[in-house]
Copies of this chain bind each other. A is one copy, B any other.
Amino acid sequence: MSRLKTTHDVFSAIGEPKRRLLIEQLVIKEMTVNELVDIFDWSQPTVSKHLGVLKKVKIVSERKEGRFRYYRIQPDELRPIQEWMHQFEKYWGSTMDQLDNYLNQIQVKGIDSEH
């Protein structure tokens, strides 16, 4: 009766803490499953399964090399999150806003100095 979503989207994929940790590692450089197992001290199936979720939503891609599989981040897939966050930036005076303000100041100065 209750209709629940089956496919993970990017937002729910990063809802899982372990997956965020995996992402934080893979954004540094591509790594194999066992390297991640060693770093986090999780079971190999746990790592593989979470990578599977991230792969399904395209946050990571896979490169096979012999019996190893190197996983890496695909940052573009995370842009929807960044774009969604935009709506809040005006409230908290983000770095972007600060730069934006700075930019406006510069422009005003520029216009002034033309007179």
Q: How many copies does the complex hold?
A: 2
Q: Which B residues are CB-close (under 8 A) to A91?
A: 73, 75-76
Give how many A residues have a beta carbon under 8 Å from the other chain's beta carbons: 33
Most chain B CB within 10 A, of A88, A91, A94, A100, is at A88
In the complex, how many angstroms separate the beta carbon of A59 from the nearest chain B beta carbon? 10
Contact in complex: A24, B87 (CB < 8 Å): yes
Report the Cα distance A9→B84, complex, angstroms: 18
Stretch at the interface among A14-22, A32-40, A62-70: A14-22
**What are 13 A-B pairs at a CB distance below 8 A?**
A11-B17, A20-B84, A73-B88, A75-B91, A76-B91, A78-B85, A82-B85, A82-B89, A82-B92, A94-B96, A99-B100, A99-B102, A103-B103
A interface vs B, CB < 8 Å?
A: 5, 9, 11-12, 14-17, 20, 24, 27, 73, 75-76, 78-79, 81-82, 84-85, 87-89, 91-92, 94-96, 99-100, 102-103, 106
